[in-house]
Amino acid sequence: MKDQAKIIAALLVGAAAGAALGLLLAPEKGEDLRGEIADYVNDLIATAKEKAQTTANNAKEYGSNVVDSVKSKFNTAVTDADIAAENAKSKVKGAASDWNNTVQNA
């Protein structure tokens, strides 16, 4: 996201420089020039908003994917732990039964 911030900053600096050059070099009436500058600035603002919205959506999607991945791994770990616990419980019951038979046969 740092690269996108740099791009937006460069875009805004370029827009300001372009507007300044436009003021210096334009042979138009002041009212016409102000209108063109306002349109240009509005276009820049719209572009910046679109870029910010796209960046926010991408960040939201990435975060959602990370959360889903973590949930999936956690659920897999819990399932594996449950299986291991059942296996251990079965082995303990088997060992206890074997000991019980050994004690009763002795």
pLDDT digits (tens, 9 = 90+) for 16-60: 888 777 776 766 676 777 788 789 889 989 999 999 999 999 999
Global pTM exceeds 0.85: no
Which residues, 6 or more positions from 4, have their beta carbon under 8 angstroms from its beta carbon?
A: 51, 55
How many other CB atoms are there within 10 angstroms of residue 5's CB atom? 12
Distance between CA atoms of residues 77 and 67, nearest Å: 15
DSSP structure class, residue 12: H
Phi/psi at 26 (5° precision): -75, 130
Token output for 35: 């209108």
* CA separation for the pair 93, 95 (Å, rounded): 5
